[in-house]
Structure 1
């Protein structure tokens, strides 16, 4: 039986990124594979005709490449943390229907997927928690979820496309709270500069009738700007289009590589990595 998704619902907002990851898998098979997305799309009863029509456009195909690189980069950082911390908690902040935690599973880590209750309700139906995995309904801005994470073996947190919707002060409060609660842990996420965030925010800010775009989280020089928040943070960043991969693949045109360079350098599209100082 297929799971029906209605238009203009919270569930619909989860389906479109899922479709984008399926599109990435089809367009850039050497660079990215998300079998979960391919499998889930087949289980869903939803009118994808508009998404399929849009997928032929140049910018939609570049957008799919952006999604692919972002997921690959975050997975790279999760796996890098798991090498010296094989029993760590792997925590997907604002998980939606993303399965990166399971894709990085080393057979020993603990996987946590966090999102709003209505999102987790849908996830439980389409992606029920597996072995050593928990789907936790929560508001990321409320630190009550900290106590649900077993970080005795370390903890690596990642957020994909999440913090653009947070005020700078909310990200700062979350990061400082995590530094208190998870010494020795690491947080990785994607970010961009003010120009890029204004472009990202154009549609949803209009809907939400929010005027002060400047209050929303954006960063150009991560190590300087975020490093000033707290002396316990070790902050670094890499471009998220070309910082982890040269994109030299037959599926990627020279024009797309040029756009990737503009994204990394002009828009400061980056993966930010924050290490929380250990107490030892």
Structure 2
């Protein structure tokens, strides 16, 4: 049985990322090995080929490298805090809750817009300790469902760049106001990338893609937005080139890593609070 998927704009990006993760995970040298994604694609009634833009083949490695780095940070947090609460914001159709080996005492919340969660509930199980919440992440009321007595891991993959800077600031203050301790892991683009997508906004809109709104200028950006956060680590995506199994793409990422402007065009960040 297949499920219909009819999304545009930011929501459409979840179908792109799902398809590319599934494609990458079918390789014998897969970086991510997201075999659940490959299974889910087969249960969605959608013409995924119309999502592919020029360069789509290489983007599967970008997504796999990003997801694997965030998976590793999430797994590390769960090893240190087996009773943690995990908030996966803008989860889309990501299978992270099922890729990771969750401790028995952990609680996981996947959060996204109501129509995305409706589709997700048709495709994924909801085992004990796992819950979905249908809400915009910028709507504060959904946080009332989250327990506050345990360490919290907030995962914001492919999300903060779509929010305005004011929306990001409000969201981060809600975390430090409500939770006593935890970590935030996320990805962010350099300012020049944001400016480039904004200049291309009309072209992207014709294809149903949104442009980005917010850049991460440096590794202290989040601390400037909210002093309750403290920088822990960041990893330039290009620096992970050795994990790419295809020589041509590995060479491109190696060259990007050697040039400061392109080395830091896209990074994954880890902050504590």
Name the TM-score, length of structure 1 as normaliser. 0.83
Given that residues 11 and 122 in structure 1 are in contact (C-alpha distance below 8 angstroms), is that contact kept between their aligned partners in structure 2? no
Q: Summarize the Cα distance change of 1:66–1:259 in structure 2 as closer, same or farther, 3 Å threshold.
A: farther
The total of aligned residue pairs comes to: 265
- Corresponding residue SS for 1:271: strand
Show the counterpart of 1:165.
Answer: 162
C-alpha separation in 2, matches of 1:264 and 1:32: 26
Tell me, yes or no, if structure 1 residue 130 matches structure 2 residue 130: no
What are the superposed Cα offsets for residues 239-268 of structure 1, whole Å, 9 maximum, x if unpaired?
34245x452554343423335516974253
What are the within-5 Å matches in structure 2 for residues 49-64 of structure 1? 49-51=49-51, 54=52, 59-64=55-60
Q: Summarize the Cα distance change of 1:151–1:69 in structure 2 as closer, same or farther, 3 Å threshold.
A: farther
Show the counterpart of 2:48.
Answer: 48
Q: CA deviation at 1:207?
A: 3.4
Q: CA deviation at 1:82?
A: 1.1
Q: CA deviation at 1:200?
A: 4.1
Tell me, yes or no, if structure 1 residue 25 matches structure 2 residue 34: no
Show the counterpart of 2:226.
Answer: 230
Q: CA deviation at 1:145?
A: 1.8
Show the counterpart of 1:199.
Answer: 196
- Corresponding residue SS for 2:167: helix
Q: CA deviation at 1:34?
A: 0.7
C-alpha separation in 1, matches of 2:3 and 2:182: 37
Match of 1:81 among 69, 77, 80: 77
Show the counterpart of 1:36.
Answer: 36
Please identify, of 166-175 and 144-153, the stretch whose mean Cα deviation from structure 2 is larger. 144-153
Q: Which runs of 5+ in 1 are unaligned?
A: none
Show the counterpart of 1:68.
Answer: 64
Q: CA deviation at 1:28?
A: 6.9
C-alpha separation in 2, matches of 1:230 and 1:92: 20
Q: CA deviation at 1:92?
A: 0.7
C-alpha separation in 1, matches of 2:124 and 2:202: 27
Q: CA deviation at 1:69?
A: 0.8
What are the superposed Cα offsets for residues 184-225 of structure 1, whole Å, 9 maximum, x if unpaired?
1111110011111233453479639xxxx89x31012122x3
Q: CA deviation at 1:119?
A: 0.8
Q: Which runs of 5+ in 2 are unaligned?
A: none
C-alpha separation in 2, matches of 1:92 and 1:159: 6
Name the TM-score, length of structure 2 as normaliser. 0.85
Show the counterpart of 1:251.
Answer: 246
Match of 2:180 among 180, 183, 186: 183
- Corresponding residue SS for 1:90: strand
Match of 2:152 among 152, 155, 174: 155
Show the counterpart of 1:2.
Answer: 2
Q: CA deviation at 1:140?
A: 0.7
The two structures, once aligned, show a CA RMSD in angstroms of 2.8
